[in-house]
C-alpha cells in the first residue's frame, strides 16, 4: 500500500466506489446509501466550519448505535477534528467529566440522554445537537451554532461519485480520544492517531477477515468501544458492507431477532454471550448419561455434532463466515466443544490503547486456546525468561498503539517501558508462529503461600462450567482463596429449588472443584452472591469492586 494512504482515503474511496450501494440502516427504519453518507459528511463539514471548529478541535458523541452516529463519526474524523465517543451507559457525571476534560466544543447527544444531563456542567461547549435529527438543543454562543445547524438542510451540497473528495490527512493526525471504562475503575482518555484507525482497518487485507461488497452486518456492540467500532462499523464500511444499527438496548431477544431478519455475514460476540448459549441450550442436552454414551460412537457423534452446529448457526442468522469472539477471556471447555462441532468462530485479542487489535486469525487458521496471531504492523514480546512456556506481561509496539493518555503525562509514562513498549497488563506466552495465549491479568494474579502464581481466571473457568453457576469471581481472602458465585437462578427456579438447596448444591461443588485443581489453587470458601457482578461494556467483571 502507498504511504500516502490514510484512514480518510479509505473512507473516501469506499464512498466513491460504492456510491449507490446501501451503507447504513437503522433497524426497522430507514436506509441511506454510501453517496448519501458522503453528502451528509460534506454538509456537516460546512456546519463545523460555520461553528468555528478548527483542525484538532474536539467533538463529543454519545448515544446508542444508529446511522447518524456513524455519519457524525466519519464527518468529524474526515474534517480533521477529533471525535470523542462516549458510552451511552455512562453515568451523567461521567458524561459531564469527559466532555469537559476532553475540551470538546460540540456535543452530539441522543434526546433521551440529553434529558438527564446538566448543560451548565459543560460550560466550554459552543452547542449541543440532537443525534436523533440534528436539531439544536442548547447553545452557549448566541447565533453562531444555531445559524449553522438550522442551515444544514439548505446547504447546497450535491457531490457525485466522480467529484466527491474529503480533506487530506496525515497518519500522525489525532483522530479519536476514547475514554476507557476498564476493570481498574479509572477512566483515561486514549489518544489514537489516524495511523491506528488506518492500520486496524487494513489488517483485513493481511489477516483474512472475509468481508466484501454487499455483506450484511448488525451493529449491536457499543460503537463508543473500540472493539465494536472497528468490526461492526469502520472496517465493514470501507469494504462496502451494508450496516444495520440496532438502535436499542441489545437484549438477547432483540439481537437474535435482528440476526434472523438481517442474516449477517460477520458477527462479533463477547465470550459471555456464547457461554450463556452453551450453558442454557447445549450443555443440558449433551450432559445426559445416554447422550454421553452415544457421543462416544464415532459415526453417530458426527451426526449429532452436525445437528448441534446447525442449530447454533441458525441462532446467529445462518449466513455468517465467522463469529469473532473478543473482549474478555473465553472459557476453554466451551471453546473446545465449538471447535469439535465445527462451528465457525475465531478469537481475537486487543485493547482500547491499540484501537483495539493486537492479535487475530480467522476461523480456518484459529488455534485452540490461542487469542490469535500478532497482526501486521504490530510487534509483541513477553516479559519472561522463557516467553514460550513461562507467562510474562505482554508488551506491544506498532502502528495501532496510542499516542498516550489525554492530559495525563504521568499515566502515559507508566503505560510504556523505558524503551517504548506498551504494557498491556495482561500475562501470556507466545509460540513460534506468533500466536498469543492469554493467561490472565497481571493485576489479578494472586501470589500463593509458597510463591506460586495463581491466575483466578483459570479457576473461574472451571467453576463457571459447574451446574447452576452463572458466573464467579475468585479473590484472595487473608491468604486463602475465596470464590464468589452468582447462581443461575433462572435454572434453579425452573427446577423448583429453594434457596437453601441452591446453597447446598453450590457449596457441594467445592470438593469436586478442588479435586480438579492443583493443591495451591484450592478454594477454601464459596460465598453465594445475590446479583450479577457489575461489568464493563465489553462484559468484563469490574473486579476492583469485589477485591478486599
Pairing type for strands 31-33 and 22-26 reads antiparallel
CATH topology of domain 446-545: GMP Synthetase; Chain A, domain 3 (3.30.300)
Write the pLDDT tens digit of every residue in 136-159.
Answer: 999 886 657 888 888 787 888 889
Separation CA 364–CA 359 (nearest Å): 15
Q: Is domain 266-318+321-440 in CATH 3.30.300.30, yes or no?
A: no
Q: Burial, 538: exposed, middle or buried (Cβ in 10 Å; 0-12, 13-18, 19+)?
A: buried
Q: Residue 78: count other Cβ atoms within 10 Å of its Cβ.
A: 24
Q: Where does the pLDDT of residue 183 fall: very low under 50, low under 70, confident under 90, or very high at 90 and above?
A: very low
Q: Cis (ω within 30 of 0) for the bond into 356?
A: yes
Separation CA 182–CA 372 (nearest Å): 22
- Report whether pLDDT(288) > 50: yes
- Report whether pLDDT(207) > 60: no
Q: Where does the pLDDT of residue 543 fall: very low under 50, low under 70, confident under 90, or very high at 90 and above?
A: confident
**Edge-to-edge strand list for the sheet holding 349-350:** 349-350, 357-360, 373-374
* pLDDT, average across residues 23-28: 97
Secondary structure of the chain: what % helix, strand, coil (to 5)? 35, 25, 40
Q: Which residue is it, cell 450463556?
A: 276
Write the pLDDT tens digit of every residue in 433-453.
Answer: 999 999 887 778 787 765 677
What does residue 352 show for φ and ψ, rounded to 5 degrees? Answer: -55, -40
Q: Residue 27: count other Cβ atoms within 10 Å of its Cβ.
A: 20
Output the pLDDT for position 1: 40
Separation CA 348–CA 374 (nearest Å): 10
Q: Where does the pLDDT of residue 517 fall: very low under 50, low under 70, confident under 90, or very high at 90 and above?
A: confident
- Report whether pLDDT(2) > 70: no
Class of domain 7-11+33-210: alpha beta
Instruction: Please give the grid coordinates belonging to residue 267.
Output: 458477527
Write the pLDDT tens digit of every residue in 238-279.
Answer: 999 999 999 988 888 888 899 999 999 999 888 878 887 887
- Report whether pLDDT(185) > 80: no
Q: pLDDT above 70 covers what percent of the chain?
A: 93
Q: 149 versus 320: which is more confidently predicted?
A: 320
The number of helices, as runs of H, and strands, as runs of E, in the chain is 19, 27
Containing 150, the helix (H) or strand (E) segment is: helix 144-150
Output the pLDDT for position 374: 95
CB 399 within 8 A of CB 377: yes
Write the pLDDT tens digit of every residue in 53-112.
Answer: 999 999 999 999 999 999 999 999 999 999 999 988 888 988 999 999 999 999 999 999
CATH 3.40.50.980-classified regions of the chain: 7-11+33-210
Whole-Å CA distances, 266 to 165, 235, 336, 492: 29, 11, 21, 34
Poorest-pLDDT segment among 182-191, 207-216, 245-254 = 182-191
- Report whether pLDDT(3) > 60: no
- Report whether pLDDT(427) > 70: yes
Output the pLDDT for position 293: 66
Output the pLDDT for position 520: 81
Output the pLDDT for position 184: 45
What does residue 164 show for φ and ψ, rounded to 5 degrees? Answer: -65, 135
- Report whether pLDDT(282) > 60: yes
* DSSP state at residue 5: -
- Output the pTM of the full model: 0.84
- Cβ-proximal residues to 257 (8 Å cutoff; 6+ apart), any chain: none
- Report whether pLDDT(460) > 80: yes
- Report whether pLDDT(539) > 70: yes
Q: Which residues pair with residue 394 across a beta bridge?
A: 382
- Report whether pLDDT(295) > 80: no
Q: pLDDT above 90 covers what percent of the chain?
A: 65
CATH 3.30.300.30-classified regions of the chain: 446-545
* Average pLDDT of the chain to the nearest whole number: 89
Amino acid at each position: 500500500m502507498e504511504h500516502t494512504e490514510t484512514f480518510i482515503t479509505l473512507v473516501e474511496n469506499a464512498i466513491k466506489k460504492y456510491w449507490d450501494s446501501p451503507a447504513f440502516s437503522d433497524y426497522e427504519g430507514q436506509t441511506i446509501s454510501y453517496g448519501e453518507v458522503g453528502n451528509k459528511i460534506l454538509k456537516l463539514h460546512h456546519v463545523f466550519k460555520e461553528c468555528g471548529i478548527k483542525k484538532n478541535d474536539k467533538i463529543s458523541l454519545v448515544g446508542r448505535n444508529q446511522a447518524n452516529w456513524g455519519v457524525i463519526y466519519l464527518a468529524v474524523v474526515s474534517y480533521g477534528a477529533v471525535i470523542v465517543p462516549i458510552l451511552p451507559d455512562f453515568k451523567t457525571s461521567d458524561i459531564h467529566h469527559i466532555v469537559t476534560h476532553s475540551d470538546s466544543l460540540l456535543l452530539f447527544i441522543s434526546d433521551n440522554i440529553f434529558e438527564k444531563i446538566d448543560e451548565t456542567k459543560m460550560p466550554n461547549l459552543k452547542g449541543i445537537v440532537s443525534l436523533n435529527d440534528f436539531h439544536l438543543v442548547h447553545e452557549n454562543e448566541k447565533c453562531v451554532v444555531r445559524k449553522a445547524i438550522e442551515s444544514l438542510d439548505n446547504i447546497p451540497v450535491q457531490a457525485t461519485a466522480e467529484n466527491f473528495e474529503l480533506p487530506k490527512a496525515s497518519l500522525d493526525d489525532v483522530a479519536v480520544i476514547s475514554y476507557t471504562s476498564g476493570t481498574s475503575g479509572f477512566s483515561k482518555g486514549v489518544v489514537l492517531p489516524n495511523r491506528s484507525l488506518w492500520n486496524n482497518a487494513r489488517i483485513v487485507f493481511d489477516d483474512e477477515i472475509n468481508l466484501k461488497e454487499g455483506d450484511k452486518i448488525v451493529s449491536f456492540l457499543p460503537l463508543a468501544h473500540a472493539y465494536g467500532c472497528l468490526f461492526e462499523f469502520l472496517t465493514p464500511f470501507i469494504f462496502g458492507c451494508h450496516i444495520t444499527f440496532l438502535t436499542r438496548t441489545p437484549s438477547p431477544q432483540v439481537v437474535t431477532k435482528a440476526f434472523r431478519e438481517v442474516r449477517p455475514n460477520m458477527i462479533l460476540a463477547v465470550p459471555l454471550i456464547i457461554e450463556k448459549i452453551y450453558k442454557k441450550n447445549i450443555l443440558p442436552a449433551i450432559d445426559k448419561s445416554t447422550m454421553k454414551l452415544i457421543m462416544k460412537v464415532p459415526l453417530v457423534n458426527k451426526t449429532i455434532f452436525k445437528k448441534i452446529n446447525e442449530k447454533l448457526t441458525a441462532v446467529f442468522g445462518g449466513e455468517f463466515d465467522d463469529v469473532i469472539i473478543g473482549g474478555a477471556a473465553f472459557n476453554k471447555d466451551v471453546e473446545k466443544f465449538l471447535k469439535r462441532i465445527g462451528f465457525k468462530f475465531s478469537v481475537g485479542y486487543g485493547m482500547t490503547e491499540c484501537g483495539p487489535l493486537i492479535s487475530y486469525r480467522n476461523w480456518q487458521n484459529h488455534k485452540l486456546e490461542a487469542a490469535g496471531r500478532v497482526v501486521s504492523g504490530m510487534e509483541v514480546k513477553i516479559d519472561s525468561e522463557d516467553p514460550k512456556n513461562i507467562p510474562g506481561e505482554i508488551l506491544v509496539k506498532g502502528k495501532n498503539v496510542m499516542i498516550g493518555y489525554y492530559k495525563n503525562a504521568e499515566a502515559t509514562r507508566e503505560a510504556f517501558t523505558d524503551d517504548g513498549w506498551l504494557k498491556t497488563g495482561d500475562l501470556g506466552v507466545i509460540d513460534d508462529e506468533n500466536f498469543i495465549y492469554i493467561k490472565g491479568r497481571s493485576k489479578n494474579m494472586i501470589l500463593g503461600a509458597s510463591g506460586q502464581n495463581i491466575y483466578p481466571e483459570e479457576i473461574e473457568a472451571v467453576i463457571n462450567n459447574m451446574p447452576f453457576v452463572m458466573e464467579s469471581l475468585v479473590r484472595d481472602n487473608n491468604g486463602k482463596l475465596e470464590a464468589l458465585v452468582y447462581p443461575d437462578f433462572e435454572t434453579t427456579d425452573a427446577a423448583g429449588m429453594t434457596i437453601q438447596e441452591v446453597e447446598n448444591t453450590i457449596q457441594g461443588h467445592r470438593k469436586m472443584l478442588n479435586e480438579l485443581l492443583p493443591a495451591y489453587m484450592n478454594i477454601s470458601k464459596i460465598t453465594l452472591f445475590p446479583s450479577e457482578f457489575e461489568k464493563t461494556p465489553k462484559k468484563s467483571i469490574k473486579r476492583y469492586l469485589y477485591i478486599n
